[in-house]
Amino acid sequence: PSPRARTLAPSARTRGGAASSRRYLSSGAGQERMLELLRAFVAREGHAAMPRNHVEDGEKLGTWLHAQRARSAARDMAASERRGRAPLSDDVARRLEEVGVNCVVDDARWERMYELLGAFVAREGHADVPDEKLGAWLRKQRERYL
């Protein structure tokens, strides 16, 4: 891909043309536009929890927010784990927090998956989880922490 395309989310590279590509830029005017839309969403809805496919004023705000959360998670990862994701800057993280975005949304999900794993182990007597979702989560934990 072109140098500019590398700054875009994969979905923008495959679905968008020139008009949509600026929406996914991680800095500059595209970033400001998305932050503005996010502020409006939070003011209207009272929260920043939105599905990944949420569109706000013609912009893929849910996709952008998901990417920002992924970049936030990349801040705590070793470079080898990031898979090309640039970590979120301190400035952008601060601005997202000011709007009310919980960039560590995965904490609640992690706790829930841990509870499900505990229930599975209590029921089955082992942690060889065949379940697609729980098994994938467990594999990721093993890769990351063992």
pTM: 0.57
Which tens digit of pLDDT belongs to each residue from 19-75? Answer: 343 445 455 788 899 999 999 999 999 988 888 899 999 999 999 998 898 888 888
**Of 40-44, 90-94, 132-136, 142-146, which one has max mean pLDDT?**
40-44
**SS3 annotation, the chain:** CCCCHHHCCHHHHHHCCHHHHHHHCCCCHHHHHHHHHHHHHHHHHCCCCCCCCCCECCECHHHHHHHHHHHHHHCCCCHHHCCCCCCCCHHHHHHHHHHCCCCCCHHHHHHHHHHHHHHHHHHHCCCCCCCHHHHHHHHHHHHHHC
Which tens digit of pLDDT belongs to each residue from 74-131? Answer: 887 778 777 777 888 888 888 998 998 877 656 677 888 899 999 999 999 999 998 7
pLDDT of residue 104: 67
pLDDT of residue 112: 84
